[in-house]
Amino acid sequence: MHNGALNDILFILLLFFLIVSSLANPNVIKLMLPKAKSNTKAKQTVVVSIDAGQQFYVGTNKVSFEELKNALVPKINPNEVDNTIVINAEESVPISAVVSVMQIARELGAKTVLGTANPQSTQGKK
């Protein structure tokens, strides 16, 4: 049975919905991020962005999904305990694309954090 793998995936999905991060990194792609109430900061190691056309970016470098793992490998320090990949996904991106990035991060031994829009920066805009 693969109960351990199922539990790991469920835990990752739980983290996906519970952990939010506000980003102050100029080296990211501008996306319409989903709004969140809290304003939690996470240690930033690598930023992976997914736009509405399901194009993947590592920092500002556009990569195909097939190239994504190879692009992340040199950016993840194997000696670092707290490697983190911040995922910025456009609201319209299917959850399966985000989960596939999370699976790659897990293979590389990195944690994942989902980036959301800062609620203060979107107030007053309707």
Tell me the per-residue pLDDT of 114-124, one tens digit each, with 9 for 90 and over.
887 776 655 44
- The more confident residue out of 125 and 59 is 59
For 75-95, the pLDDT digits (tens) are: 887 777 778 899 999 989 999
Tokens of 74: 């040199």
The pLDDT assigned to 19 comes to 53
The proportion of the chain whose per-residue pLDDT surpasses 90, expressed as a percent, equals 30
CATH number for region 3-122? 3.30.420.270
For 19-56, the pLDDT digits (tens) are: 544 444 455 566 777 776 655 544 547 899 999 899 99
The pLDDT assigned to 46 comes to 87
Residue 14 binned pLDDT confidence (cut-offs 50, 70, 90): low
Burial of 72 (0-12, 13-18, 19+ CB in 10 A): buried
Q: What is the mean pLDDT of residues 58-80?
A: 88
- The more confident residue out of 40 and 97 is 97
Angle at 6 between CA 56 and CA 108, to 5 degrees: 40
